[in-house]
Structure 1
């Protein structure tokens, strides 16, 4: 339970509470120095003018207020500088930790739970929503806390000078600090959720349009997609416009309340001076104190709006990472066998959550050490689901997947994943060099080993032509053909030192001659490793020891 609290969204902020408190204190100090500076300056100028008009300049205390003004000016400059320095430092730290937290919580959900979330939507959560949350300190939390503190100090100070003035300031604080923001943001939560949804929709449409630009051009659908992006943009624009009008209305209401409050304080100060309750300097100080507070309170509506937006964004982030994982990590893991063992699917039954169709119906399969097996079947027959169970992205509804004498559910997932080298059907090529992509399979691999595995998948000549291991392959392998990208991903899987090699459509995108040559080279490179291959293609002789067909949930 304690670990869950630490790994929560609140836990990210709690790790920086020292810097957060220091930032709020510095912001409060800046506000206090600025408010006191305006009040003291107003009182000093009034007293100086009256003293000069009465010809009493020789008895006027010039030095003490002047020293106070200079001291407050310096204090405001210093506190403002360090408030910006510390505030931006902690904001960047929170932004870093938020992204790490999101990735750490979201990655165990991939691909099982995240498969139903569009990539553009995830990008919107990562960019927009985290951006809203990591700015909560400088846009909402800090200003609101500091404004509350400075308002309290101002009311107490006014009470010492003239108690009715303190009552007026308290009324203005409640009216402008609570009443106006409440009217401004009342019912805005639903609007903020709707705005966040449309913002994510626009990012999704834009991202998917760029990602599929070649296909859109080939299908002559680019203009249609541009219209979809334009519609999404206009919908977001209307939400932003509604939000701006809400803020403008709040500012207008704040201005009316502030103007009325300032007139009321001016009348109250004049009445107090006429009665002799306060002298002219203190009466002027009350008026200028009110001016300073009204200037500070002008940002309170935006702070409340930022707080509301941040809360909506936080809920959206937690909706992703708080999903129940497809599998649950065991609390008492057993050791994976040190030597290669037999892999067995024992009467495995599986259906997707919420669906009635049984994809795997009492599947029985054994893969001995060093054995090579192919699984064939029509699209949608459950072949990839079989590999998902082997990778333990999902657990069977009934039956078990065993390695040696142990159910793989008893292994720590990290330990079990080290036993498998996987080539997925849509294996990505990452933006980077040839070596960067290969070393994802083995970070400690030498250059000689990388050249060896490139030769095994018939990419050595290609790599030499483009500049060797340090050659850049582009975003998503933009400089490569589909077949070359497939072979580079296969080389990465072969480089991984694991007793089981799991291949999903390894020859997709290759011509028949190249595919058959690649398969023979792959078998030679396997050594004593086991192979489970999922494929649609006809395989040449000698590639696998046994071949199965998956049909209606059963292996034949």
Structure 2
């Protein structure tokens, strides 16, 4: 897919306005063909019935040819409209997802971390789905309905000015009054409905993720009750939306009946007075019927428009947050293998206490530094600063004497291999997981790092590099999944390795064995290890402790 500029949501639709206009024009042509077909057929039948006694002078061929032509035109335009409309929608869907991820990824994890996973999933699935369907569900139909109405009113006024005025009044009632009922308090209701959808998805997602813990605590029933409550609230909201739409449909039917009766009376009066030919009068009645049928989807289209706008606001609320880290206008080159240095680093999360207060640290080339400390003491924040996920409030983080704020994030991340505390193992093969760390790695490199971490035997037993590991590494033990995630980081050709709690969840012996294997696999690269667990005495690593926002030698 071609690279697209990082701009606003409206521009995503504007890129495809030609295709959308073409699809709307084809939809209008389909509506007009249907309206003309009903009007012509009605006029033809009426004229044929009136000419029954003098059939010899009646032209059957031209109207019947027109009926056949309009029927074929309606089929062709409808087929073409479906192709054009879905082509435009799929292109919008593609670009919309690209737009969202381009804007959202720089916010991770600092800004996106405030959203629960289920809520973010709801915005990705429900909100994007409603926004990318705005054209086919709302914008296109509304534009085509308006165009068909104007042309129909214009033709009716040409036949009889009073008929045109009557259709204009009906259009105002059906196109303005009925949607107003459907849209009454619609913005607030659609926001609430979207929030309820997100809540239900969040409950279900978190219940699946924590199924083991819920079962162990005998809390599955209580959680299921919370899911049922969220589902019931969403169902009630859905019923309210359907009731509102049903009321709008009822009003549309009442307005339609009144307009049809009025047009029938007007047409009959015009024929009786000799002002309008009978065939034209019949065509006016059938035109009214066709327009009312065309406008029947007005309420649903308005509701889709409101839902799409509410979802667009929710998406913008995510991506329009200010990013915590920005690339410089003119980034400088990143040095090769060199020293990571922190000088006088101060950091506090928004609205929180200082977690780092004057940190001083240097990790020389090839040096291993292990930093321990209490949970919540700022160890993971220190790793995030080293990765430049955050920038310090004061002080500098530099590499080879170059402040990381002066280099492009992509260039710096190419120099670092990172394994976060909750490093995932992705569903797929061992090969696919490893290549996320280094897409160009060959098989020899993969087997070398697996062997260094003592994982080669298990990989061969499960089918080699193409063996499946299961969702979240379900086919591996906890220790094996950790080693696979570490192998992925080690495979990355970077001079600095940053590990955040790599032994989390492992027992003491398994954690010690993992760190000993890590030492053998590191080679000449530097290591910054964040861990609250002990480091084996056999490892000649520099040990520090983070306490009260400062680093000091570990006891």
TM-score bin (small chain): over 0.9
| Alignment partner, residue 39 of structure 2 | 39
Equivalent position to 1:478, from 457, 474, 486: 474
What is the correspondence of 1:322-333 to structure 2 with a 5 Å cutoff? 322-333=320-331
What is the correspondence of 1:425-440 to structure 2 with a 5 Å cutoff? 425-440=421-436
1:472 counterpart SS class: coil
Over 3 Å counting, the alpha-carbon distance change for 1:142 and 1:437 in structure 2 is same
The alpha-carbon deviation at position 184 of structure 1 amounts to 2.2
Number of residue pairs matched?
550
Q: Which moved more, 1:512-521 or 1:13-22?
A: 512-521
The answer to whether the 8 A contact 1:374-1:544 is kept is no
The alpha-carbon deviation at position 541 of structure 1 amounts to 3.2
Equivalent position to 1:536, from 532, 545, 554: 532
Over 3 Å counting, the alpha-carbon distance change for 1:65 and 1:516 in structure 2 is same
The answer to whether the 8 A contact 1:341-1:403 is kept is yes
The alpha-carbon deviation at position 18 of structure 1 amounts to 1.5
| Alignment partner, residue 344 of structure 1 | 341
1:45 counterpart SS class: helix
The alpha-carbon deviation at position 544 of structure 1 amounts to 4.3
Matched, 1:188 2:186: yes
> Residues 288-319 of structure 1, C-alpha deviation per residue, up to 9 Å, x if partnerless?
00000010011101000100000001101111
2:51 counterpart SS class: helix
Over 3 Å counting, the alpha-carbon distance change for 1:346 and 1:516 in structure 2 is same
The alpha-carbon deviation at position 512 of structure 1 amounts to 3.4
The alpha-carbon deviation at position 6 of structure 1 amounts to 5.5
The alpha-carbon deviation at position 380 of structure 1 amounts to 0.5
The alpha-carbon deviation at position 100 of structure 1 amounts to 2.1
The answer to whether the 8 A contact 2:24-2:144 is kept is yes
| Cα distance in structure 2, aligned partners of 1:517 and 1:264 | 89
What is the correspondence of 1:385-396 to structure 2 with a 5 Å cutoff? 385-396=381-392
What is the correspondence of 1:341-490 to structure 2 with a 5 Å cutoff? 341-355=338-352, 357-490=353-486
| Cα distance in structure 2, aligned partners of 1:176 and 1:222 | 50
The answer to whether the 8 A contact 1:5-1:11 is kept is no
| Alignment partner, residue 499 of structure 2 | 503
| Cα distance in structure 2, aligned partners of 1:22 and 1:215 | 54
The answer to whether the 8 A contact 2:339-2:365 is kept is yes
Matched, 1:320 2:318: yes
Matched, 1:69 2:80: no
Matched, 1:92 2:85: no
Query: What are structure 1's unaligned runs of at least 5 residues?
Result: none
2:359 counterpart SS class: strand
| Cα distance in structure 1, aligned partners of 2:203 and 2:289 | 48
| Alignment partner, residue 304 of structure 2 | 306
The answer to whether the 8 A contact 2:122-2:198 is kept is yes
1:299 counterpart SS class: helix
TM-score after normalising by structure 1: 0.97
| Cα distance in structure 1, aligned partners of 2:452 and 2:524 | 16
The answer to whether the 8 A contact 1:483-1:508 is kept is no
| Cα distance in structure 1, aligned partners of 2:514 and 2:299 | 65
The answer to whether the 8 A contact 2:500-2:530 is kept is yes
The answer to whether the 8 A contact 1:348-1:361 is kept is yes
| Alignment partner, residue 48 of structure 1 | 48
| Cα distance in structure 2, aligned partners of 1:420 and 1:180 | 60
| Alignment partner, residue 258 of structure 1 | 256
| Cα distance in structure 1, aligned partners of 2:139 and 2:464 | 52
| Alignment partner, residue 517 of structure 1 | 513
The alpha-carbon deviation at position 525 of structure 1 amounts to 2.1
The answer to whether the 8 A contact 1:342-1:403 is kept is yes
| Cα distance in structure 2, aligned partners of 1:179 and 1:44 | 34
The alpha-carbon deviation at position 542 of structure 1 amounts to 4.9
The answer to whether the 8 A contact 2:271-2:278 is kept is yes
The answer to whether the 8 A contact 2:479-2:510 is kept is no
What is the correspondence of 1:21-170 to structure 2 with a 5 Å cutoff? 21-52=21-52, 55-170=53-168
Query: What are structure 2's unaligned runs of at least 5 residues?
Result: none
The alpha-carbon deviation at position 5 of structure 1 amounts to 7.8
TM-score after normalising by structure 2: 0.97
The answer to whether the 8 A contact 2:6-2:99 is kept is no
The alpha-carbon deviation at position 61 of structure 1 amounts to 1.4
1:228 counterpart SS class: helix
> Residues 425-482 of structure 1, C-alpha deviation per residue, up to 9 Å, x if partnerless?
1100001101111111111111111111111111111111111111111111111111
| Cα distance in structure 2, aligned partners of 1:157 and 1:350 | 71
The answer to whether the 8 A contact 1:158-1:286 is kept is yes
Over 3 Å counting, the alpha-carbon distance change for 1:437 and 1:184 in structure 2 is same
| Cα distance in structure 1, aligned partners of 2:514 and 2:462 | 21
Q: Which moved more, 1:536-545 or 1:209-218?
A: 536-545
